[in-house]
Amino acid sequence: MSLTRDFTPYDSRRTASGHVSSGAPVRRSFPKSWGAEHVGENSVLFRLWAPDIERLRLRIAGRNREMLPAGQGWFTLTVEGVEPGTPYQFVMPDGKAFADPASRAQDGGVDGHSMIVDPAFYRWNMPAWKGHAWEEAVIYEMHIGTFTSEGTFRAAASRLADLADLGFTVIQLMPVSEFPGDRGWGYDSALPYAPHHAYGSPDDMKAFVDAAHRVGLSVMLDVVYNHFGPAGNLIVSNIPSFFDPQFITPWGPSINFAQPAVRAFFIENALYWLEEFNLDGLRIDAVDEILDETSEKHILVELAERVHSETTGRRRHLVMEDHRAILRNPERGGTPDAFVAGWNNDAYHAAHVIATGEAVGHAGPFAAQPVAKLAACLAHGGMPSQDDDEQDARSDADAGGSSPLTSYIHFLQNHDHVGNRAHGERLISLSEPGLLDVMTSMLLLSPQVPMMFMGEEYGEVQPFAFFAEYEGDIAMTTWANRLIEAEKFGGLPEGVTEPWQLDNPNAPEAFEKSKLRWERRDTAEGSAAYGKIRDLIGKRREHVVPGLSGMPHSVGRVLASAPETIAIDWQLSDRLVQLRANLSASEVEAPGISGFVIHRVPETVVADGTGPLVMPATSLLAAISRHRIFEYSSER
């Protein structure tokens, strides 16, 4: 049995630049319950949980073999003489063949054959890599398909050194698992264990992670555990017991996490990415729609416990899309939280209203007093907010201040908030340059963990659209949904009332126009933006990060100041960080500062340390004092 043309093992001794690595390479693999696992040299055990049928066959290298019932809905079969690259599928009693739900690689996509992969073939070249402490995190969100013109892991790896040079410490990949077609965001996955065929082989992805570690970058992966996509979903039609029709999500019946086999499928998926691909962490999407109402322990709690207990010897970080308190460790006692951080949409929405004047859709509840709301988020992390759809009061993050500020991930842009807009405009096309400079400075010099969306570092103006490759009714539904999403993210352009007035997300042009135009980085505007980001991240690393270790949970205080002005003092472990920002179009007075100024926008802003500051329109000062100014109680 030979390797197919589309599946080529990667020479793992070579880095992205083509240089043979030195050191002592190691091999990594994770034995999972589902799918194909090597149990000896060229001996492979195939396992599938399919309790709704009485007979299952394995089609391997063109031959059907009867699988054996193993109890509790499992079917197994061990096959000898199986080489890497061998194609296989499972076959239902009616003769319908389908891919392995836990396939490590696909020959041509979700409708093709699954491929046997030797996970230990790749030799890792950075065995001593331990990752970054969380307080060092400066996150760069990346979509592999549009990060480079080639849209592959190998091409992306060639640009990692530049991101490390800028000061980023964490790459957060948008989902990379197999989805239908050659283009998509990745959140409608069909095969959660297989890297997408258009991006490269599993070994190409491992080489990307290896290259990142070589230049000092951690790599986290966005994973989706609440649904499968509307197309190519082989589990829905072949394993009905995988779902629980009692509970409904926006994507259909909930996944049945009460079933041990289903639970193992997802928990092992997390461990698989972390162990077999040597990743430094995971970001779990839409955790509020991971419904596990009948289990004694919520699946995310169990997942986090297993990650922390089974991936020892290095730092592994789990991030979620929101801050549900039930997923936080109530007794810290010096041990890490189950989830180290979550995205803070409150801070984003307030910042977006300030930067653009748009207060529609999800940002609607922030129309009143956005500056005060942003100040509260920056000082304390969270704030009481409104549910995006129902307007019911809730606590989004942790308004009580019981969590460290580094458990909040702040951002001015991400894939959702850019790509779900009617035309995919980036913030640079919506905000005044001076105001954007102030907002970016606040993002990178505040204690919260900052995240930037790819291209933001050099002022990319190319839009980032929603794109997919669906056909038929699903394609039309996807197009129609663009109208609904656009209303939530920035609103509809004047005169737009029908979906076909917006670009077709299934057209190749939607994907192509979303690719970064790296030539802009070399223009005067791009070079200037690039230099500003390098400078800000450097100042964060030198002046803010050292105070984040051992930081108390409640550290921020909002000072009385003029309207449209933010004045915050953060007492970190050994220093006071002071931020003064005038977000208005008029000169205002702001509380004075002590210590020394580390950053100012524009450069002409003056601080003499003798009293209140006179802040010109759209300006910012950040300062550091190396002595403790005040103590905090739990009251504010």
Asked if 26-124 and 542-625 have one fold, the answer is yes
Residue 204 and residue 154 in contact, taking contact as beta carbons nearer than 8 Å: yes
**What is the residue whose two structure tokens read 């096959």?**
79
CB-CB neighbours of 524 under 10 Å: 7
pLDDT of residue 13: 30
pLDDT tens per residue, range 299-344? 999 999 999 999 878 899 999 997 554 445 444 333 446 899 999 9
pLDDT of residue 9: 31
- pLDDT band at residue 293 using 50, 70 and 90 as cut-offs: confident
pLDDT of residue 610: 73
Q: What does the pLDDT average to over 493-505?
A: 94
- Rounded mean pLDDT of the chain? 89
276 in active site: no
Paired strand residues for 386: 393
Residue 59 and residue 36 in contact, taking contact as beta carbons nearer than 8 Å: no
Q: Top-level CATH class of 26-124?
A: mainly beta
As given in the structure block, the two tokens for residue 224 are: 């989706």
pLDDT of residue 613: 95
24, pLDDT greater than 90: no
How does DSSP assign 393-458, residue by residue? Answer: EEESS-TT--S-GGGEEEES--HHHHHTSSS---GGGTS-HHHHHHHHHHHHHSSSEEEEETTGGG
Most confident listed range (290-304, 312-326, 415-429, 546-560): 415-429
Q: What does the pLDDT average to over 462-478?
A: 96
Identify the active-site residue in 204, 285, 302, 469. 285
Residue 35 and residue 47 in contact, taking contact as beta carbons nearer than 8 Å: yes
pLDDT of residue 10: 29
CB-CB neighbours of 549 under 10 Å: 14
In residues, how long is the chain?
636
Q: Which residue has the higher pLDDT, 409 or 389?
A: 409
606, pLDDT greater than 80: yes
pTM greater than 0.85: yes
- pLDDT band at residue 140 using 50, 70 and 90 as cut-offs: very high
Domain boundaries, the chain: 26-124, 542-625
As given in the structure block, the two tokens for residue 2 are: 């030979």
Identify the active-site residue in 100, 118, 141, 321. 321
503 in active site: no
In angstroms, rounded to a whole number, what is the distance separating the alpha carbons of residues 184 and 540? 34
Share of the chain above pLDDT 70, in %: 89
We find that the CATH architecture of domain 542-625 is Sandwich (2.60)
